[in-house]
């Protein structure tokens, strides 16, 4: 499996090079390091949309039924313990990027969180750090590159993975190398751990996926939400989280009856925007 990981990383590097060429070859008058054309924020949409629908189909017909079965046959305490273990296993990837970004306070909090949960939480089975006021953070190598000024590049939708960008491709490889599955010598155990991780991700993200599917324009909603959240992390929380709701698209205006002649009329109350449910 390690050889497969190396092949995957090499493939992502080759793909990033080719996609960068595709994104810049038809941009006359702009330098090689200029941002994407302002009137075309999604130059790879023709490729991204079919992959997006493929991922939604995979969720509807494969992962969602498996996730529902998992939720049916396992107690809640078991599912929470599994999620805690996977969250703890992913914490080194987070605090490494905290320190790479020069955010020492967040790095020490995430490092302390990892050590506390690993030692006193039985490998992360119990989230002891949360009771000690050590909140989890979200981070990645794409955010690190963004902090140091690397442009996002074209938005990407990866098969069976989801939203990403050219800048985030190296982070996928980094997350593999910092994850525990890569260092397990037993191939069946690696596949079992990876499969359980996919099921746990489907379980923890099911409400977010449903929110995307119920949006007026699911593809645009996911793209805008992902890009706004990425920018939120890069700016250290300076971007309003309400911007994550961008991309829902205009809601249809409510039909109004013709006003009687000479009657006072009030402006129609706009329909409320769809909110983000608790995960």
Extents of the domains making up the chain: 1-13+44-73+149-246, 76-139
Give the pLDDT confidence score for residue 237 in this predicted structure: 73
| Nearest residue to 170 via CA among 184, 189, 156 | 156
Model confidence, pTM: 0.72
Give the pLDDT confidence score for residue 265 in this predicted structure: 42
Contact indicator for 249, 215 with CB cutoff of 8 Å: yes
Give the pLDDT confidence score for residue 236 in this predicted structure: 85
Distance in angstroms (rounded) separating the CA atoms of residues 146 and 225: 17
Distance in angstroms (rounded) separating the CA atoms of residues 18 and 12: 10
Distance in angstroms (rounded) separating the CA atoms of residues 94 and 111: 9
Please name every residue paired with 274 in a beta bridge, in sequence order, or none if there are none: none
Give the pLDDT confidence score for residue 264 in this predicted structure: 44
Q: What is the DSSP letter of 154?
A: S
Q: Which residues of the chain have pLDDT under 50?
A: 2-38, 239-244, 247-279
Contact indicator for 118, 134 with CB cutoff of 8 Å: no
Give the pLDDT confidence score for residue 195 in this predicted structure: 93
Distance in angstroms (rounded) separating the CA atoms of residues 47 and 24: 16
Give the pLDDT confidence score for residue 28 in this predicted structure: 36
Give the pLDDT confidence score for residue 86 in this predicted structure: 95
Contact indicator for 41, 150 with CB cutoff of 8 Å: no
């Amino acid at each position: 499996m390690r050889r497969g990981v190396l092949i995957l990383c090499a493939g992502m590097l080759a793909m990033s090079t080719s996609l960068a060429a595709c994104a810049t070859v038809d941009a006359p008058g702009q330098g090689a390091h200029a941002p994407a054309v302002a009137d075309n924020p999604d130059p790879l949409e023709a490729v991204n949309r079919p992959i997006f629908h493929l991922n939604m189909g995979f969720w509807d017909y494969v992962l969602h039924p498996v996730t529902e079965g998992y939720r049916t046959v396992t107690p809640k305490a078991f599912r929470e313990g599994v999620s805690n273990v996977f969250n703890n296993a992913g914490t080194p990837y987070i605090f490494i990027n905290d320190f790479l970004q020069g955010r020492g306070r967040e790095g020490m909090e995430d490092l302390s969180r990892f050590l506390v949960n690993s030692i006193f939480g039985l490998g992360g089975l119990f989230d002891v750090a949360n009771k000690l006021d050590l909140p989890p953070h979200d981070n990645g190598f794409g955010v690190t590159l963004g902090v140091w000024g690397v442009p996002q590049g074209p938005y990407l939708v990866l098969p069976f993975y989801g939203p990403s960008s050219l800048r985030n491709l190296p982070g996928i490889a980094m997350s593999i190398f910092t994850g525990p599955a890569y260092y397990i010598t037993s191939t069946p155990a690696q596949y079992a751990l990876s499969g359980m991780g996919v099921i746990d991700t489907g379980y923890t993200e099911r409400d977010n996926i449903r929110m995307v599917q119920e949006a007026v324009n699911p593809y645009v909603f996911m793209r805008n939400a992902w890009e706004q959240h990425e920018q939120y992390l890069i700016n250290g929380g300076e971007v309003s989280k309400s911007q994550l709701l961008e991309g829902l698209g205009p809601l249809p205006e409510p039909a109004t009856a013709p006003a009687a002649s000479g009657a006072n009329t009030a402006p129609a109350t706009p329909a409320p925007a769809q909110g983000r449910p608790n995960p």
